[in-house]
Amino acid sequence: MCGRYSLTHNAEEIGRRFGVEAPAQHSARYNVAPTETMPVVRAGDEGSEARRECVTMRWGLIPFWADDEKIGNRMINARSETADQKPSFRAAFRRRRCLVPADGFYEWVSREGKKWPIRITFGDGELGAFAGLWERWSGEDDRVVESYTILTAPAAAQLESIHDRMPLWAPEQCWDEWLFDDEEARGVMESMIEEFPADRVRYYPVSRQLNRPGRESPQMIEPVDEGGLPRRGGEFSV
């Protein structure tokens, strides 16, 4: 599962990394929670040349056929094993895949009756992307909402003691195939799972302030050693 993530890079850095014009209003985010609006990279308008574009969308996919947009509140993740078969996701899997820019995500472990958030990154918190799906939903009042979900996969061996699932990290060499190649989407997804950079995973405990959605500060991503938890991810045992 992926219920929180971070995107601490600014719009200029996102634009440069993905070759897009990123939404200028984006600012560093340390504690992204479901239902919030965040930058997403997708294929450009249908009929155009193969190019990427960056738009903002609501986290929590609302199927196009839904009667109530609140269904999206529980559609924040889609299992990679079944996303192309489930009614909520299969249409998006065929035609509306995306990249979700991120530089880390969070899971929780229990210690002495308390839930401690663990930040998980690649390398030194480099900017990359999760594989995702997006959808466009229209309400009765003609209001249009674009929303996304993050694909998940079985956790890498070194993360299994934290959680049995993790967001599907999309290697850069797979980005364009994932966005533009409808026929090979499942094969590309399987390649992402196989090419997961397990040797570059880093994780460490962070402040319990992160437990509350809406709290934002650079301190959210700083290692802590409260309660006897060691500071460095490489030494942290869950």
Return the structure tokens found at 31: 């504690």
Of 107, 135, 146, 174, which one is the catalytic site residue? 107
> Is the pLDDT reported for residue 230 higher than 60?
no
2 is catalytic: yes
Q: What is the pLDDT of residues 148-160, one digit of tens each?
A: 999 999 998 888 8
Number of Cβ within a 10 Å radius of residue 36: 15
- pLDDT (mean) for 218-230: 76
Cβ distance 194 to 169 under 8 Å? no
Number of domains in the chain: 1
Return the structure tokens found at 219: 């301190």
Q: What is the CATH number of the domain that holds 161?
A: 3.90.1680.10
Owning domain of residue 57: 5-235
Of 2, 54, 98, 174, which one is the catalytic site residue? 2
81 is catalytic: no
d(CA 133, CA 97): 4
Cβ distance 176 to 185 under 8 Å? no
Q: What is the pLDDT of residues 4-57, one digit of tens each?
A: 999 999 999 999 999 999 988 899 999 999 999 999 999 987 545 679 999 999
